[in-house]
Amino acid sequence: MLTIRVNKVSHEIEVDPQTPLLWVLRDHLGLMGTKFSCGTSQCGACTVHIGGQALPSCIVPVGSVANQEITTIEGIFDSTVGQALKRAWIAEDVPQCGYCQTGQIMTAAALLQRSPRVTESDIDAAMARVLCRCGTYLGIRRAILRASKELAQ
């Protein structure tokens, strides 16, 4: 048995500690907002926060994150940064198919939680490892700048 804390709730789960965190989130806890795509840490679709850091949950063994604070897309909008990003994403009409957007928002949230005032180059550096097949990169950059301005007020 392992205990994991997700979105401020503790869960006891019976699982092999080598199981990727992504499978536990989706298959054990029913949190389907975190997406599976490459499964090899190449695309960022599965990004969650572990101890405040944006990390690919497809390659993180669940046994390595027992008792750490994990936040998923289902929990991020409880934060000030999450709310600012949600407003900005809507205002900039960012998503197309939507599949990558969990990873984009979670990565953007970690960036703005570290430092709310960001430049375009800060954004490009932080967001580079999250891929979007629909090419929403310019909208994502505009939305993060918008959220950053709101948070700096």
Closest by CA to 123, choosing from 49, 80, 115, is 115
Q: Which one among 132, 144, 147, 151 touches ligand FES, defined by CB under 6 A?
A: 132
- The widest CA-to-CA distance across the chain, in whole angstroms, is 46
Please name the amino acid found at residue 9.
V
Regarding 133 and contact with ligand FES (CB under 6 A), the answer is yes
Q: Which is nearer to ligand FES, 97 or 125 (CB)?
A: 97
Burial class (CB in 10 A: 0-12, 13-18, 19+), 3: exposed
Regarding 53 and contact with ligand FES (CB under 6 A), the answer is no
Regarding 41 and contact with ligand FES (CB under 6 A), the answer is yes
Q: Which residue ranges make up the site for ligand FES (CB under 6 A)?
A: 36-39, 41-46, 56, 58, 95-101, 132-134, 136
